[in-house]
Amino acid sequence: MLKNDNNNYKFSIDKFYKNYLKGPRIFNNRDALEPSYIPHELPHRDVQIKDIAEKTACALFGNAPPSFLCYGQTGTGKTATIRYISQKLAQQNTEIKPWWIYINCNVVSTPYRILAHIYNTISREEKIPPTGLPKDIIFKKLLGLLDSKVRNSICFLVLDEIDILIEKKGGNEILYDLTRLNENLDQCKTSLIGISNKLKFRKTLDPRILSSLGEEHIVFPSYDAGELRDILNKRAKIAFREIVLKEDVIPLCAALAAKEHGDARKALQLLRKAGELAERAQSKSVNSKYVERAHDDLEKDHIMEYIKGMPLQAQLVLTAVYLISKYSPDHIIISGDIYEVHSEIKGFIPGIRQLTKRRISDYISELTLAGIISAEVKSMGHYGRTKIIKLDIEIDIIEKVLSEIDKIQAILNHKPTLLQTDKVKLKNNIFKKLI
Ligand SMILES: Nc1ncnc2c1ncn2[C@@H]1O[C@H](COP(=O)(O)OP(=O)(O)OP(=O)(O)O)[C@@H](O)[C@H]1O
Ligand SMILES: [Mg+2]
């Protein structure tokens, strides 16, 4: 950076771009590492591809394939495999071209919207309003549309993250109706494919649905480090320029993702992020240092997302730990302190209930399990055995994420009165000597 007249550093954007354009290039086709990219091959999914291809091939002759479920932990290639097969089926040189309606139940989240989405996708128009029509009317319209538009072909209905639908009011009923569509169709046939990463989800299905949907199921086992290496190598060849990846990069990404139940998404994310960090640093190559930094960054993002998704009461318990740590960094925090501070700050947020000591203790356990705080039981002389609580994440990160939560933002500069009480200070001094 250049110094300006006031002797301050000044960033020159033009110079930056000029250097950037002249600098080393890491990526050839960065899109190949994006989640939306459909790979041309899916290593280590041959068994599943063969099984699904055999089940669905009859669609090419206009016969109805069985409905089935796909299971496996997150990042095991379920969605990628179904998308891959739908592409392959479409590429076959046959008169009958199957239709595919893909629905992510996390995005299209109510039974009504699912029906409307299927209808609107087939008709290619927003014909069903977002709310308002009775379910049986939409069903009737949908049956008519399927017969008239899809005609003698097959319509695959893919319900990804199907477990979310089941938890919704009316979810079981709609699923039951969707599995029975064929009984009311004259020409077209449908086949339902459910995808889930909740392994126990099958047990929660209504027996009537299970008999038509759950009898056939395909399991996607987690990848081991060797399999993840193969997946990454194939993608890296497309994504990166030749010889920019140091030898240890892919094995390290694979090993780190294998620790997290063999998640290919995680492995690809690490590789992409490592490449981006190297590019930002104008480095000529990507080495394991960038993978380690990428791993740390992703961990932080993950924790921040987790905190944002916690219930407000859990966020307040964390805020209590944060406020004590901020205003008195060497204070030994015990559960009683968190109870006191929580009682105080909850008063600033309308509608928030006082928690019992027991509930506070439950939230402390949850935060500990998530790796956000640590709670170690120590013997404190005549005070007995006591949980000593500490933040396990850098305080700046906690502050950043809490300041992004509307209801909590305003209390982040509140110094807890507890820290100003002589009795508490005295007790804490004794604790410090005992530790
Ligand atoms: N065998 C494979 N070969 C190449 N890429 C793969 C393979 N398996 C998974 N991937 C890639 O890993 C990422 C995650 O895969 P996918 O989205 O299919 O996981 P999923 O099982 O559907 O996970 P979730 O349950 O979280 O939805 C995608 O980018 C996908 O392209
Ligand atoms: Mg998926």
User: What is the rounded distance in angstroms from the CA atom of residue 199 to the CA atom of residue 118?
Assistant: 26
Ligand 1 in reach of 74 Cβ (< 6 A): yes
**Of 339 and 19, more confident:** 339
pLDDT recorded at residue 133: 82
Report how far residue 200's alpha carbon sits from residue 198's, in angstroms, rounded to the nearest whole number: 6
CA distance 142 to 122: 9
Whole-number Å distance, alpha carbon 84 to ligand 2 midpoint, is 13
Whether 312 and 409 have beta carbons less than 8 Å apart is answered as no
**Quick one: pLDDT band at residue 434, thresholds 50, 70, 90?**
confident
Amino acid identity for residue 307 in this structure: I
User: Residues with beta carbon < 5 A to ion ligand 2?
Assistant: 79
% of the chain residues with pLDDT over 90: 74
Phi, psi (rounded to 5 degrees) for 102: -105, 125
Residue 89, token pair as written in the block: 């089926």
Output the CATH code of domain 46-220.
3.40.50.300
Backbone φ and ψ for 117, nearest 5 degrees, come out as: -65, -45
Query: What pLDDT sits at residue 71?
Result: 93
**pLDDT score recorded for residue 4:** 59
Three-class secondary structure of residue 387 per DSSP: strand
Task: Look at residues 296, 228, 290 and name the one whose alpha carbon lies nearest to residue 259.
Answer: 228
Averaged pLDDT score across all residues of the chain: 91
- From the CA of 77, give the closest atom in ligand 1: 18
- Give the residue, by CA position, lying nearest to ligand 1 atom 1: 42
Instruction: Tell me the CA–centroid distance for residue 263 and ligand 1, in Å.
Output: 8
Residues of the chain with CATH 3.40.50.300: 46-220
Alpha carbons within 13 angstroms on the beta-carbon side of residue 356 total: 3
Read off the pLDDT of residues 288-304 as tens digits, 9 standing for 90 and up.
Answer: 999 999 999 998 888 99
Q: For ligand 1, what atom is nearest to the CA of residue 230?
A: 3
- Indicate the length of the chain as a whole number: 435
Radius of gyration of the chain (CA): 28
Instruction: Give every CB contact of residue 200 below 8 A, 6+ residues apart in sequence.
Output: none
As annotated, the residues of the chain forming the CATH 1.10.10.10 domain(s) are 310-434
The pTM (predicted TM-score) of the whole model is 0.81
Distance 230 CA to ligand 1 centre (A): 13
Confidence category of residue 3, pLDDT binned at 50, 70, 90: low
Q: Which atom of ligand 1 is nearest to the CA of 35?
A: 29
Confidence of residue 121 (pLDDT cuts 50, 70, 90): very high
Residue for token pair 């002589």: 422
Cβ of residue 265 lying under 6 Å from some atom of ligand 1 = yes
Residue ranges, CATH 1.10.8.60, the chain: 225-307
DSSP structure class, residue 401: H
Smallest Cα–Cα separation from 82: which of 121, 53, 111? 53
How far apart CA 70 and CA 160 sit, in angstroms, is 9
Contact 105, 69 (CB under 8 A): no
Q: What is the CATH T-level fold of the domain 225-307, as seen in this structure?
A: Helicase, Ruva Protein; domain 3 (1.10.8)
3-state secondary structure 216-253: CEEEECCCCHHHHHHHHHHHHHHHECCCCECCCHHHHH
What is the structure's pLDDT at 2?
53
Element housing 116 (H / E):
helix 111-123
Q: Does ligand 1 come within 6 angstroms of the Cβ of 264?
A: yes
Residue 35: what residue type?
P
Which residue type does 38 have? Answer: I
Beta bridge partner(s), residue 387: 377
CB 165 within 8 A of CB 206: no
Regarding the beta carbon of 347 and ligand 1, being less than 6 Å apart is answered: no
Asked whether 205 and 196 are in contact (CB, 8 A), the reply is no
Nearest to 340 by CA among 327, 323, 328, 326: 323
Angle between helices 312-327 and 335-346 in degrees, nearest 10 = 110
> Average pLDDT, stretch 71-96?
94
Kind and range of the H or E run holding 71: strand 68-72
Q: Does the domain at residues 310-434 carry the CATH identifier 1.10.10.10? A: yes
pLDDT tens-place string over residues 215-269? 788 999 999 999 999 999 999 999 999 999 999 999 999 999 999 889 999 999 9
Q: What is the pLDDT of residue 7?
A: 62
Whether 79 lines ligand 1, by a CB cut-off of 6 Å, is yes
